Amino acid sequence: MELERYRRQMNIPEIGEGGQRKLAASSVLVVGAGGLGGPLLYALAGAGVGRLVVADGDIISLSNLNRQFLFAQDDLGRPKAEAAARRLSAFNPEITVEGKQLQLEEQNASELLAGCQLAVAAVDNLPARLALNTACAKGKIPLVNGGVEGWYGSVQAVEFGKTPCLACCYAGTAPEEGGQALGAVTGAVASLMASVTIQMLLGHNPIPGELLFYDGKGMTLDKVPVERSPGCPVCGKGEKGLGIG
Ligand SMILES: [Zn+2]
């Protein structure tokens, strides 16, 4: 590892050389390489997270380019996973980036998680979030979840058995509409997700049991407490739950 590349972040006391080596030894699954996934992946790749698995089944289209900064005009028509892996490998050749062109489902999620210490949901639909949540619960792999709509965004960090999971909060709620997206807002929320992810890889969850809520219009950031649901179909102790402590 070329330590010079990371010198400025190793100056941060909570990182240092020990933290840098920890990041280099980490593997993270990022589901979604779009408006949230792109800036988040740049931040993780730049920070030297050693292995990134990028899962996305979509093709790059013109209406992506207002916010999906991993891609350029001449990427139109290409698979996002492949273009993301190529761009990130060029950005930081020291790390391994694996692009997987697929839509996440419960069946393939466990396979994608193999060898990963953490997963990130940077998707725009609830079924994919909940599928990743279930797979992470089975492997007890921490999960960082983020979402945006218009000026607003939220971030949550799940540690199974300790904090509420996504099914505690969202099981049975209406699917997302996902119509409004501005790069300035998705980029800000993606940076918050990346900061939470890096801290969790270093062993510290900065928002346990809280939903971080970003208002990019009123320019506020709030933490809202969230609670575990005893009847949660994933982490609850009921007959369908996994009964995670
Ligand atoms: Zn739960």
> Does the pLDDT at position 153 exceed 90?
yes
Please tell me the predicted confidence (pLDDT) of residue 226.
Answer: 97
138 Cα: distance to centroid of ligand 1 (angstroms): 12
Distance CA 234, CA 141 (A): 13
134 Cα: distance to centroid of ligand 1 (angstroms): 9
Distance CA 201, CA 209 (A): 17
Please tell me the predicted confidence (pLDDT) of residue 158.
Answer: 98
> Does the pLDDT at position 139 exceed 90?
yes
CB atoms within 10 A of CB 150: 13
141 Cα: distance to centroid of ligand 1 (angstroms): 13
Give 156's strand partners: 145, 211
> Does the pLDDT at position 146 exceed 80?
yes
Q: In what order do the strands lie in the sheet with 220-225?
A: 96-100, 51-55, 27-31, 118-121, 143-149, 152-158, 210-215, 220-225
Whats the size of the chain, residue-wise? 245
The mean pLDDT of 130-137, rounded to a whole number, is: 97
Letter for the amino acid at 61? S
Give 239's strand partners: none
Q: Would you kindly state where each structural domain of the chain is located, as residue ranges? A: 3-225
Please tell me the predicted confidence (pLDDT) of residue 177.
Answer: 66
pLDDT in tens, 83-123: 999 999 999 999 999 999 999 998 899 999 999 999 999 99
Letter for the amino acid at 8? R
Mean of all residue pLDDT scores within the chain: 95
Which residue, chain included where needed, has tokens 């996973």? 81
Q: Say what the pTM is.
A: 0.96
Distance CA 45, CA 93 (A): 9
68 Cα: distance to centroid of ligand 1 (angstroms): 31
Domain 3-225: CATH class, spelled out: alpha beta
- Give CA separation, 192 vs 18, 25, 188, 199, in Å: 23, 22, 6, 11
167 Cα: distance to centroid of ligand 1 (angstroms): 5
pLDDT in tens, 33-76: 999 999 999 999 999 999 999 999 999 999 999 999 999 999 99
Please tell me the predicted confidence (pLDDT) of residue 242.
Answer: 65
100 Cα: distance to centroid of ligand 1 (angstroms): 27
Confidence of residue 162 (pLDDT cuts 50, 70, 90): very high
Confidence of residue 172 (pLDDT cuts 50, 70, 90): confident
Q: Which of 242, 24, 12 lies closest to 134 in space, CA to CA?
A: 242
Confidence of residue 6 (pLDDT cuts 50, 70, 90): very high
